[in-house]
Amino acid sequence: MSLTPTERACLEAFRQGADPVRTRDPGRMEEWLGFGLRLLLEAGAKIREGRAKIDEGEVELKSDGSPVTSIEEEIERLLVERLTVFTENIAMVGEETGGALPESGFAVAIDPIDGTWAFVNGTETYTTTLAFFHDREPFLGMVSNPATGEIGYALNEEASRLLQLSLYGEADAACSLPRAGAEAAPPCLLVNVHPSSQGGALAAALHEAWSRGEVDMVRSPGGSPAWALLEAAKGDFVYVNQWTKRPADVYDLAAGVLLVRRAGGEVTDLEGQPIDMLRHQGPFVASIDQPSRKKVIELVGRVVSS
């Protein structure tokens, strides 16, 4: 449960108010991790401060009916400022400011508040997500929940990591994913189904399976899909999302999918095939355990296809 030297150094520098540093070697992955952690810590501080004042600010609706707050735009501006200090020649794709993933070179994609409705309504299931790419291949995915103080990340080919930051004076903690406790727990099939206006039949099928004892629990907290993917990477839940026919944007799923895969799990479509994290469309299921994922696909596949 101990922090790595890089994790500890980032937390100490942030808490001491040290200035962000410029990278000495863009090819050194640990420097990208340090940059991402620092950005998420700064963004998390802005979000925690802003959530207490959300009633005082303006919440606007975008053309698709989803909300946006001034905090999200502020976080994307912060990323631009920090990138200017950190390194040159890196493309950025923002959920609010746009952009496109280039064919070559370094790039970063950000959703400053994934699950804005949850943030606006105080549900605390929102996240900030970062995905870093080189030549369109993701090498670092990061998901932060400022409400719980958790940051999950997957760096290159290494195992996914989870940081639990101190909120009440307890020690910071960290572990690799899936959590050891999840592996040691009695075998249970716990399902997290993402709420959807088109997903009534899917949710009903899972609840009927619960009533028959084929599933041990079904819940639907909603909020950030990236947060649900991090929960799947922890090893506790099978996550089901009906998604949409609109292809995913690069800031939507990449970070969360990378977390699940580097934790030893998979995110698949209803045919059991790994999804394309950059442009997937349609339903998907995520879990560490393959038999559990297969069972859930069997339960919902017929309903969705019909």
Which of 240, 93, 58, 233 is CA-nearest to residue 154?
233
Are residues 148 and 227 located together in one domain of the fold? no
Which H or E run contains 204?
A: helix 200-211
Q: Are residues 169 and 184 in the same domain?
A: no
Q: Are residues 166 and 36 in the same domain?
A: yes
176, 202, 236 — which closes off a domain?
176
Judge if 19 and 168 occupy the same domain.
Answer: yes
Supply the CATH number for residue 279's domain: 3.40.190.80
For residue 185, pLDDT over 70 is answered with no
- Mean pLDDT value across residues 112-135: 94
Whether 171 and 184 map to the same domain: the answer is: no
Same domain, yes or no: 39 and 162: yes
**Residues 67-97: tens digit of each pLDDT:** 888 899 999 999 999 998 898 889 999 998 8
Q: Do 160 and 109 fall into the same domain?
A: yes
My answer on whether 172 and 199 are in the same domain is: no
Of 141, 176, 211, which marks where a domain is finished? 176
* Phi, psi for 213 (deg, rounded to 5): 85, 10
Residues 156 and 264 reside in one and the same domain:
no
12-49 pLDDT, tens digit each? 999 999 988 787 777 788 899 999 999 999 999 999 99
Who contacts 243 (Cβ-Cβ below 8 Å, separation ≥6)? 280, 281, 282, 283, 284
Q: Distance between CA atoms of 254 and 189, rounded to whole angstroms?
A: 25
* Total count of domains within the chain: 2
Identify which has the larger pLDDT, 244 or 32.
32
Q: Domain range for residue 115?
A: 5-176
The mean of the pLDDT values for the chain is 92
